[in-house]
Amino acid sequence: MHGPALWQQLQSCALVIERVLKGASATQVLDDVRADWRPGVQSLSYVVMRHLGTAQALRQFLAPKAPKPAADALLLTALALLVDERQRYDPHTLVNQAVEAAKKQRSTLPLASFINGCLRRCLREQAALMGQVMQQPQARWNHPAWWIARLQHEQPEHWETILQANNQQAPMVLRVNRRHLSRDAYLAQLQEAGIDAWPQDEHGVMLLKPRPVSEIPGFVQGQVSVQDTAAQLAAPLLLQGMNLGSSSRVLDACAAPGGKTAHLLELCDAPVTALEIDAQRAEKITQGLQRLGLKAEVITADAANTDSWWDGELFDAMLVDAPCTASGIVKRHPDVRWLRRETDIAQLAAQQSRLLQALWPLLKPGGRLLYCTCSVFRAEGQDQIDAFLTHNTQARLLPSPGHLMPVLGVDAPKLTDNPQDVHDGFYYALLEKVRA
Ligand SMILES: C[S@@+](CC[C@H](N)C(=O)[O-])C[C@H]1O[C@@H](n2cnc3c(N)ncnc32)[C@H](O)[C@@H]1O
């Protein structure tokens, strides 16, 4: 069976880009792409989203008045792929196929010769045009200008490395289910299957090449789950030195899709209550746990509205993996940077604060709460916890990782030689409730 022609892939990819630019998440949009085309269209649209700032600046230069959204998305798709440093396609073939894609669709057909003209001019004058547009931060870094400015302010020494890391492809990391086998036993299994992999922290394994979960040894049997190295820090951090048993109570307050709930259950025998506000997402927790042979009490509720779900028994340990901008997982979700608005940060910080305030009274004296977000912005991390500590004198900050940036301690060019240092951006603060 033949795969789609390049023009068909470009057409599907442009549709993804058009909808993302209108505010839809790429994951949601990709669900509508026919299943056998999805992996190819996803990988192509991710490349485009990683070059969208440059493509938008070029399009602005070539055509100051943007064409209608469908034609604009196709033009941006082709421009992004033309400037992609990996040059996946011969530039002339790419232009021909983009024009073919325009001709084959009613919404873009009238603009096919306009698209042709823009792309051919780009081919002729690419070096000069790039020299011009790369002066603009959004084109240079492929992130919105407000995002770049914020990082420059908050991370004056690391902002360039963080942005560079965000534009790379995320590695695939697995978490080994300790209840089934050890990390080293699983690594041996991978070696036998001829799959190159490295150990990561306590329970992690990084694969040299990402692959569908159906091709991962032991996945269906619940031996492993997909989870980034930074996210794998949560459960051990919360549980370390706590000695929780079957009579203890653990709360995972923002649990879906359930990666950290599962890790908690893999590591301790305490019952876990998993809360999730979104009923559809809550189902994913149960499905994931079934695959791993684990069980939690899954409740659909607003965690901050404690009257609606709490039975009055205090918790020994709580994980608050709060909703956030997801600015730390841009490598994995390249659409995030184009979907967020700067005003989202304050709105999300208010939700995070509401969750912390509402849940803290439910923690036993001597108990621990781990607050985390997959954000690199201080308002959702350090500033949030500083404010909380100021207003809650019973809260003590225990040694915690704080802000983990997408790249830690290595320069971007070294990344491919040193996969151990590649992880998502996260914030972690471990709080203890001081006994009165
Ligand atoms: C960062 S995700 C959690 C990821 C999860 N801990 C994991 O590791 O798989 C945050 C989750 O919190 C949920 N959420 C947002 N506001 C909530 C609230 N007030 N109460 C409970 N869940 C909430 C979101 O729907 C989302 O699924």
Using 50, 70 and 90 to split pLDDT, how confident is the model at 201? confident
Closest residue to atom 27 of ligand 1, CA basis: 256
Does residue 163 contact residue 148 with C-beta atoms inside 8 Å? yes
Q: How far is the CA of 254 from the centre of ligand 1 (A)?
A: 3
Q: In terms of domains, do 251 and 180 share one?
A: no
In a domain, 19, yes or no: yes
> End of a domain among 87, 119, 140?
140
In a domain, 323, yes or no: yes
For residue 179, pLDDT over 70 is answered with yes
Closest residue to atom 17 of ligand 1, CA basis: 277
Q: In terms of domains, do 270 and 414 share one?
A: yes
Q: In terms of domains, do 299 and 395 share one?
A: yes
Q: Which of 277, 299, 356, 428 to mutate to test the pocket of ligand 1 (most atoms within 8 A of CB)?
A: 277
In a domain, 165, yes or no: no
pLDDT at position 339, please?
98
Closest residue to atom 13 of ligand 1, CA basis: 254
Q: In terms of domains, do 210 and 116 share one?
A: no
Mean pLDDT across the stretch 36-57? 97
Q: In terms of domains, do 339 and 274 share one?
A: yes
Q: Which of 226, 276, 318 to mutate to test the pocket of ligand 1 (most atoms within 8 A of CB)?
A: 276
Q: In terms of domains, do 247 and 388 share one?
A: yes
Q: To 10 degrees, what angle do helices 259-267 and 279-292 make?
A: 40
Task: Return the higher-pLDDT residue of 2 and 39.
Answer: 39
For residue 415, pLDDT over 70 is answered with no
pLDDT at position 396, please?
98
Closest residue to atom 2 of ligand 1, CA basis: 323
In a domain, 163, yes or no: no
Give the atom of ligand 1 at the shortest distance from the alpha carbon of 258. Answer: 9
Q: How far is the CA of 28 from the centre of ligand 1 (A)?
A: 17
In a domain, 154, yes or no: no
> End of a domain among 140, 160, 190?
140
Q: In terms of domains, do 353 and 418 share one?
A: yes
In a domain, 150, yes or no: no
Q: How far is the CA of 335 from the centre of ligand 1 (A)?
A: 19
Per the structure, how many domains does the chain have?
A: 3
Which residues have C-beta atoms less than 6 Å from ligand 1?
A: 231, 254-260, 275-278, 281, 302-304, 321, 323, 355
pLDDT at position 422, please?
75
Q: How far is the CA of 47 from the centre of ligand 1 (A)?
A: 28
Q: In terms of domains, do 422 and 323 share one?
A: yes
Q: In terms of domains, do 286 and 357 share one?
A: yes
pLDDT at position 412, please?
39
pLDDT at position 417, please?
43
For residue 149, pLDDT over 80 is answered with yes
For residue 28, pLDDT over 90 is answered with yes
Give the atom of ligand 1 at the shortest distance from the alpha carbon of 326. Answer: 1
In a domain, 402, yes or no: yes
Instruction: Say which range, 72-76, 84-88, 126-130, 194-198, has the weakest mean pLDDT.
Output: 84-88
Whole domain around residue 114: which residue ranges?
Answer: 6-140
Closest residue to atom 1 of ligand 1, CA basis: 323
- What is the spatial distance between Cα 76 and Cα 122, in angstroms, rounded to a whole number? 12
Mean pLDDT across the stretch 313-327? 98
Domain with residue 215: its CATH number is: 3.30.70.1170
Using 50, 70 and 90 to split pLDDT, how confident is the model at 407? low
Peptide bond into 257 cis (omega under 30): yes
pLDDT at position 414, please?
40
Q: In terms of domains, do 208 and 118 share one?
A: no
Q: In terms of domains, do 199 and 237 share one?
A: no
In a domain, 161, yes or no: no
> End of a domain among 184, 209, 226?
226
Percentage with pLDDT > 70 across the chain: 96
Q: How far is the CA of 357 from the centre of ligand 1 (A)?
A: 16
Q: Is 13 among the catalytic positions?
A: no
Mean pLDDT across the stretch 219-240? 96
Mean pLDDT of all residues belonging to the chain: 94
Domain with residue 69: its CATH number is: 1.10.940.10
Give the atom of ligand 1 at the shortest distance from the alpha carbon of 354. Answer: 19
Give the atom of ligand 1 at the shortest distance from the alpha carbon of 231. Answer: 8
Q: Which residues pair with 407 in a beta bridge?
A: 422
Percentage with pLDDT > 90 across the chain: 90
Q: How far is the CA of 321 from the centre of ligand 1 (A)?
A: 7
Mean pLDDT across the stretch 173-183? 96
Using 50, 70 and 90 to split pLDDT, how confident is the model at 3? confident
For residue 107, pLDDT over 90 is answered with yes
List, for residues 259-318, the tens digit of each pLDDT value.
Answer: 999 999 999 999 999 999 999 999 999 999 999 999 999 999 999 999 999 999 999 999
For residue 383, pLDDT over 60 is answered with yes
Using 50, 70 and 90 to split pLDDT, how confident is the model at 418? very low
Q: In terms of domains, do 375 and 333 share one?
A: yes
Domain with residue 382: its CATH number is: 3.40.50.150
